[in-house]
Each structure stands twice: as structure tokens, then as C-alpha cells.
Structure 1
Amino acid sequence: MSQTRQDGLRGYQVGSVHAELRELTVSDDREGMLEGTPHLHRRFRLMGFEKAMAARPHLYVHDLDRLRADVEGRVEEWLPREAVRARLTSSWTPENIAEFGHTELSVTWFQTAAQNPFAYLATIVRPLDWPSLARFVPFED
């Protein structure tokens, strides 16, 4: 479920935590590609996601297991053209942290142009476990 607050931020239920959408970008995932195959495209995306997740453990890639299976199975169907990236924050913080701050989670997925990214984000994040996926960000002075 998604709700819009008076300040324009959209709220999302992520497991047991309420989070707010801070940023959502939709881009053409094949922009600038001159040649290639669906299999190669998936391999490059998978390598990029794995590198990004190693650098930022608070990144959740929707359907990552399916993307891995598609690469192994050499699926020759193109990924949906739109790549979507969302950044959510919450005032929830882990109990063991005494500092002031917030937690955040980045989510990325592929979709078709016909899909509403805000509604699709709600279905993606609803079952996620925010405490195990989100990272703590201390407030800066």
C-alpha cells in the first residue's frame, strides 16, 4: 500500500516498517546500446548488480534469483526496457544504535512502460524485511 503525505512524500509499508520514498528514477535500460543479445544484456546487468550489492549491502534487486537463472539458462528474451531505481528511508533504527539517524534501502527492478512504478514498488517492498536489508545513516552535524 502506498499513501501520499502532505509534504508530497509517498509512504510504503516494508514488512513491519513504514518507509518514505525519497527518490525514484526510471530510465531506458538499453539507451546507448549499439549491439548485443538478450543473454549478454542480462549478464552485464547481473555483473553490475553483484558489484553494486557488494559495495552497498542496502541495495535490493527485485527478481535477482530469476535474473541469475536466466543467465545460466541463456534466455534469449530481452529484459523489460525500463530500469527503475527507488530510494526509501525510515525513522526506524536498530536497537543497538545510540546515534541519531535513519535507515535507508535502495530497490531496483525492470518493468514495462505500461506498469506504474509506484504501485509496482509497493508490491515489491511489502514482503521485505526492512531491519535485515536497510542500512543505518547517522545524522550529520
Structure 2
Amino acid sequence: MNGARIHELRGYEVGPVRAELRALTVEDNREGMLEGTPYLHRRMSLLRIGTAMAAYPHLYVHDLDVLRADAESRLDEWLPRETVRARLKSWWLPEGITDPGHTELSVMWFQTAAEDPFARLAAILRPLEWTSLARFVPFED
């Protein structure tokens, strides 16, 4: 470790908002797949993404338009092997919210095993606008 404190390693700038990384998972997106084609794999991945986005409206999928275009053009190239999901939280609250709580955003992307997921997350988050993507989560008793 280079002397940085642990909480500094988890902080990310998302537009003007500072967010904390609360969870990061990396999964093999071909696990359980016995056979198939790159096209079929992309179509199945898009179906899973659609289901996830319906269940979690605060999920941002990086390069989703590219994935859709690749599937439509029947690109014969496999998606990168890893699916990465990150969950972030911020104490920023939307204007007019007076209830106690926080905002959160989940981000998903595909990458190779050689890539650093923390550095990739920072690059994905930099241009995003937290205020339009994150959702408010009230504190519960």
C-alpha cells in the first residue's frame, strides 16, 4: 500500500458528487454456458441486462448502446469474459429532499481479466452525472 488511507481508496468523483464504493463483484459471464455463439451470448447478456435494469432502475450499464448495436449487427466476437458490478453510495441528496437518507447508483460493465476493475470504474464514473442517475434511499427504522 502506498500510504493512502482505506477510505480514500473507495472514493470516486461522479460529476460534482463524491461517492463511496460499497461493493464490487466480478463474475465470469460465461459460467454455466455449455455451448453457443458470440451472437447468442450477446443476446442472452442483453436479456439479463434488461431484467436487471427493470428490477433496479438506478443501474447504469456502461456501453449499453454499443452492446445493442453489436448484437444487431451479429458481431461474431465474444464479449469480454468478466461482468463487473459496482454499487456506490453518496450523502448528496436531491433538492427538496428533507428526509434522512442517501443516494446510490449501481454500475455494470464487461472487461477482461487483465484490466483493473477499480481503475476502469473511475474512468466510467468520471463523465457520468450522479444527480440524474442515482436514486434516493431513505433511512429505515
Work out whether the TM-score is over 0.5: yes
Q: TM-score, normalised by structure 1?
A: 0.93
Q: Which residue of 2 aligns with 1:135?
A: 135
Query: Does residue 54 of the first structure (1) align with residue 54 of the second (2)?
Result: yes
Q: Whole-Å Cα distance in 2 between the matches of residues 7 and 72 of structure 1?
A: 42
The alpha carbon displacement at 1:7 in A equals 4.5
Query: Does residue 113 of the first structure (1) align with residue 113 of the second (2)?
Result: yes
Q: Whole-Å Cα distance in 2 between the matches of residues 114 and 20 of structure 1?
A: 24
In 2, are the aligned partners of 1:5 and 1:11 still within 8 Å (CA)?
no
In 2, are the aligned partners of 1:39 and 1:76 still within 8 Å (CA)?
yes
Q: Once superposed, what is the RMSD of the aligned Cα atoms?
A: 1.3
Identity of aligned residues (%): 71
Q: Which residue of 1 aligns with 2:10?
A: 10
Q: C-alpha deviations, 1:6-37, integer Å up to 9, x for none?
A: 44760000011000000000111111110111
Q: Which residue of 2 aligns with 1:41?
A: 41
Q: C-alpha deviations, 1:82-114, integer Å up to 9, x for none?
A: 110000000001012110000000000000111
Q: Which residue of 2 aligns with 1:81?
A: 81
Q: Which residue of 2 aligns with 1:123?
A: 123
The alpha carbon displacement at 1:52 in A equals 1.6
- Cα gap change, 1:131/1:5 in structure 2, threshold over 3 Å: closer, same or farther? farther
Report SS of the residue matched to 2:46.
helix
Q: TM-score, normalised by structure 2?
A: 0.93
Tell me which stretches of 4 or more aligned residues in structure 1 moved more than 2 Å.
4-9
Counterpart code for 1:106: S
Q: C-alpha deviations, 1:33-74, integer Å up to 9, x for none?
A: 101111011001111112221221100000000000001000
Q: Whole-Å Cα distance in 2 between the matches of residues 5 and 11 of structure 1?
A: 11
Q: Which residue of 1 aligns with 2:22?
A: 22
Give structure 2 stretches of 5+ with no counterpart.
none
Query: Does residue 70 of the first structure (1) align with residue 42 of the second (2)?
Result: no
Report SS of the residue matched to 1:40.
helix
Larger mean CA deviation between 4-13 and 53-62 belongs to 4-13
In 2, are the aligned partners of 1:9 and 1:22 still within 8 Å (CA)?
no
